[in-house]
Structure 1
Amino acid sequence: MQPSDATAVTVNILDKEFRVVCPEDERDALLKSAHYLDRQMREIRDRGKVIGLDRIAVMAALNIAHELLDLKGQKSDYTDTMQSRIQILQNKIEDALNKGRQIEL
């Protein structure tokens, strides 16, 4: 990455400003991520059960990590299911082709 390809972006999380340098083409994703994190942290703070910025940040990180791992698990289950279905279809196609060859003989 060239220095000219990077840009400093200011994000606000729980009313605090953070400057983050990122590639220009990742700017929108960074802003969306910061907005999501801010929303998660505000929800935790507003529930009033967790006090302190550090603890709120850790709880938000744990919640987001849980969401990520859950989505990865869903993707893995979906991939396994699709691979199984593809294998079944391939077997059916091979069976049909083999039956067609036997008739030709």
Structure 2
Amino acid sequence: MSQPLTVTLHILDKEYRVSCPPEERSNLEQAARHLDTTMRDIRNSGKVIGVERIAVMAALNISHEMLTGNHDQSGALDDQKAQINDLVKRLDQALENHQG
């Protein structure tokens, strides 16, 4: 298992440092971007005030999406493309290590 690395994420104008395995970095960054977008949409609607309330509403919205399968189709396609790109990189690295 590879050593964890620290990834810096920006969510709703704040910086967070999170430890994760290198192979999960892309997924973590993608999740953070999705959360940031959801939180910004909620904040910009003007209906919810306060970072904690915005975070709870974002968590509820994302959980509902997951449970009902109402994922944005373009977002799902982007997720799949990112996962494929990650797999291709990992395969290239493995082949390079094997040949070297």
Deviation at 1:21, TM superposition (A): 0.1
C-alpha distance in structure 2 between counterparts of 1:23 and 1:71, whole Å: 27
Structure with greater helix share of residues: 1
Report which of the two structures shows the higher radius of gyration computed on alpha carbons: 1
Identical-residue share of aligned pairs (%): 57
| Residue of structure 2 equivalent to 1:52 | 50
| Residue of structure 2 equivalent to 1:41 | 39
Length-normalised TM-score, structure 1 = 0.64
Structural mapping, 1:59-74, within 5 Å: 59-71=57-69
- Amino acid in structure 2 at the alignment position of 1:68: M
Alignment partner of 1:10: what SS?
A: strand
Count of residue correspondences: 70
Could you list the structure 1 runs, at least 4 aligned residues long, displaced by more than 6 angstroms after superposition.
none
Q: Deviations over 1:65-103 (max 9, x none)?
A: 00000129xxxxxxxxxxxxxxxxxxxxxxxxxxxxxxx
Give the superposed CA RMSD.
Answer: 1.4
Q: Deviations over 1:26-54 (max 9, x none)?
A: 00000000000000000000000000000
* 2:13 alignment partner, one of 12, 15, 23: 15
Structure 2 residues without counterparts, runs of 5 or longer: 71-100
Alignment partner of 2:19: what SS?
A: strand
Q: Which has the higher contact order (CA 8 A, sep 6+)?
A: 2
Structure 1 residues without counterparts, runs of 5 or longer: 73-105
- Amino acid in structure 2 at the alignment position of 1:55: R
